[in-house]
Structure 1
Amino acid sequence: MDLACAAALTNEADPDRALDEATASISAQLDGRSVDLLVCFLTHHHAGALERIPERLVAATGARTLLGCTGESVLGDDRELEQGPALSLFAAHLPKTEVTAFRAAFDGELPPPPDIADDGRDTSMLLLADPFSFPAQEYLDVLGERYPGLPVVGGMASGGMGPGQNIVFDANGVTDGGAIGALVRGAAELRPAVSQGCRPVGKPWVVTGIEDGHVLTLGGRPALEVLMETMATMESDEREAFQRGPFVGVAVDANKSEFDRDDFLARGLLGADPTSRAIAVGDNLRKGQTIQFLLRDAESAGEDIERVLTRASGQGCAGALMFTCNGRGERMFGSPHHDVSHVQRALGPNLPLGGFFAMGEIGQVGPRAFLHGFTASLGLFVPRGRS
């Protein structure tokens, strides 16, 4: 199958010259192949030209489907541009594959999910949304119930500080709210790969007591007692990192009794109550679930993305989209281009890559898609069924 992708990244400040530069590069790389999906990420420096950008992109590339959004920072190929104006363009030529765009708006009620043939068995989804006007996790929950196992990859637009300040767009124009997406169905698929950037500490515990959303007991013992005991086993630098940003892993499969790190969904540890000896976790837990405390720091995040990408190598990836948290980058790692350099080392130095720094990343953990924070979520364009 002649699956092919192309990517272009520019820090040209003038939006018209940026578009000309990026679209010319895409056309040269694809060398006459059709653009079945075009994805554009741009910083707010280009927001003043957004009304005309979708039409210009389609006219210049002949894209059959277009999606895009604003981002605090963008990335492409081997660079992460965290300062100043930037535009990232990614194109995919997907033979024998149907790509269908959709919009979803929230007006106080969740919009119904799009109709997907074959219950999503041969379909994957790309989803971009505004974090201030669209309840992404609730929407993902509905998708997971209706289409179990549906792969969903994407991110929340970033850079804006409140409602109306982020932009999402498709071939029909721009909107300052809601979500846009594309269904990819056929011979090519968008395969998720998620690095949550954590490593487990201590051992798994079963939730045995819940009250008013707080975890009272783990394995029959006061939850705070278990937490303090776990922290006592850490080295001093680990304990300091955990105290700066404590996390809890929530097992996504209630039927499993043995776990590895990919079985846990990372959620924040929000606090503890010395009186009740309970802890608060940023998720709706229930009795019988298994949790494990997680440590996230630069070293753990680097090790985890390398592990995830090594596992993803050898799948015939033609290109990838990356949605990395706007709390990563130089803020977390102290040096530029951290995540993209791991992608290029694992999946190939010339791999077409596009993406942005998101205000929430969408990706699979176990059979379900979730909205994450501080993760790097990738969508790999691979031939369907290739393992």
Structure 2
Amino acid sequence: MPDRHGSRHRRALHAPPAGGVSPRRRPEGAAAISEHPLPTHATGDVLGEVLDQLGPRPDLAVVTVTGNHAGALEDVARTAATVLQPRVLLGAASASVIGGHREVEQSPAIAVWAARLGRVEPVRVRTARLDDGWAVTGLPATAADGPRTLVLFADPHSFPTDGVLDQLGETCPELQVVGGLVAGALGPGGARLVLDDEVHTGGAVGVLLEPGADVETVVSHGARAVGDPLVVTRVDGRHVLELAGQPAIDRLREVLESLDPAERTVAAGGLQIGIVIDEGRAEFGRDDFRIRPMVGADMASGAVVVGDALDVGQTIQFHLRDALGADDDLRAALAGRSAAGALVVTSTARGHRLFGYPDHDADVISTLTGSRATGGIFTEGEIAPVGGRNLLHTSSTGILLVGPERA
């Protein structure tokens, strides 16, 4: 019978034993999580499990801790760097973490995800506020040597995410970015970001994978479209005044009236707005939208207020976000895929809060892909490519599949 803080607090997935792995062989991974309340004990648990599964010197190790262990993150990172000896150590403190089939939300936990996937380079992004915006240094300068993937954990208070992604789209159009804004940083200077054995409190940290790395990115918005796509015909910033020539609030009423009673209950909890990414398409599917919240409605002006500035001529469609739709969308996004590992960033709006029980995303991802190494964190905003563009998402799940295979 395990003691109160013994093996029952450890959850891990088993991976193939370590060996001499060529970058072009299918990657190997390992993942472990411990809910032990003492960070020293939890660190020993997870590092021991990862060593058992994968051995030392992985190319990348990702250490994530919940806020309860944020104060110990520096010690955790240094221990992980010493024991695992990864080429790059990446990590963060966040509200909740993922390891294997488990998601631990708002309670003590430490998780480690590690993989052998080829050459990797550390990336430290620094930001400074200017009178007319932000100065950003440390980003990849070019992707001339071929398509690459950047994994990025960022501070929501000091990292101008949309501007950085736009800049990368111009300078590195073949670069795909997956990551998120760490949850739980209560204000400027409150973030805890790990790069190798150092902890930073702002900007972003990341790892750049080698050109042609055997990875694939997947995004699940967790929202489903309702009504028809509508063109914005009059707008003032985030206030959409007209949709398809009619007051936006009238179009909203039409959509609400078309819903069944159960869907109206979901809509009462908050609608989402899907903004079409590529206006050149004749039809729009689940991968064609950037999802933003509907902030509210202005009855006086007839406007719908969206959580992003829009322009006349853009197409939007109302979306519902509920547990059933989120489950269906995640399963659709992963259909036919298998992988050796999965690094996950999932929204704090999901988890127990959305599904009513823990572990949903971690379990579905691990089960459907057959991943023996699933790990990651909960975020306040998820970064992942959709429609050929790197975008910041909300209420979504972004997944880096390592060694992906399609049926």
TM bucket (normalised to shorter chain) is over 0.9
2:27 maps to 1:3: yes
- 1:361 aligned residue (365, 382, 387): 382
Instruction: From the superposition, tell whether residues 288 and 25 of structure 1 become closer, same or farther in structure 2 (CA, over 3 Å).
Output: same
Structure 2 gaps, min length 5:
1-24
Counterpart for residue 366 of structure 2: 344
Q: Compute the TM-score of the two structures, normalised by the length of structure 1.
A: 0.92
Give 1:197-346 correspondences, 5 Å limit.
Answer: 197-311=222-336, 313-314=337-338, 317-346=339-368
Partner AA of 1:325 in structure 2: S
| Offset, 1:118 | 3.7
Q: How does 1:39-50 map to 2 (within 5 A)?
A: 39-50=62-73
**Is 2:51 the counterpart of 1:30?**
no
Indicate whether 1:379 and 2:400 are aligned: yes
Letter in 1 for 2:217: P
Amino acid at match of 1:140: L
- Residue 358 of structure 1 aligns to a residue whose secondary structure is strand
Please state whether the residue corresponding to 1:145 is helix, strand or coil. Answer: helix
Amino acid at match of 2:40: D
How many residue pairs are counted as aligned between the two chains? Answer: 379
- Over the aligned positions, Cα root-mean-square deviation in angstroms equals 1.9
8 Å contact 1:247–1:294 — kept in the other structure?
A: yes
Q: Is structure 2 residue 42 aligned with structure 1 residue 18?
A: yes
The Cα offsets for residues 166-200 of structure 1, whole Å up to 9 and x where unpaired, read as: 20011151111110011101352442111110110
Contact 2:238 2:309 in 1 (8 A): yes
Do the aligned partners of 2:27 and 2:214 also contact (CA within 8 Å) in 1?
Answer: no
Letter aligned with residue 238 of structure 1: E
Counterpart AA for 1:281: V
Deviates more, 1:114-123 or 1:162-171: 114-123
Could you tell me the percent identity over the aligned residues?
38
Following superposition, the deviation at residue 285 of structure 1 comes to: 1.1
Pair 1:195-2:220 in alignment: yes
TM-score (norm 2): 0.88
- In 2, Cα distance between the equivalents of 1:207 and 1:112? 36
SS in 2 for 1:302: helix
Secondary structure in structure 1 of the residue aligned to 2:218: strand
Residue identity opposite 2:31 in structure 1: A
CA drift at 1:345: 2.2
More moved, 332-341 vs 113-122: 113-122
CA distance in 2, matches of 1:120, 1:195: 29
In 1, the alpha carbon distance for the partners of 2:272 and 2:280 equals 22
Shift of 1:386: 7.5
Shift of 1:293: 0.6
The CA deviation at 1:60 is: 0.2
Which of the residues 200, 208, 220 maps onto 1:183? 208
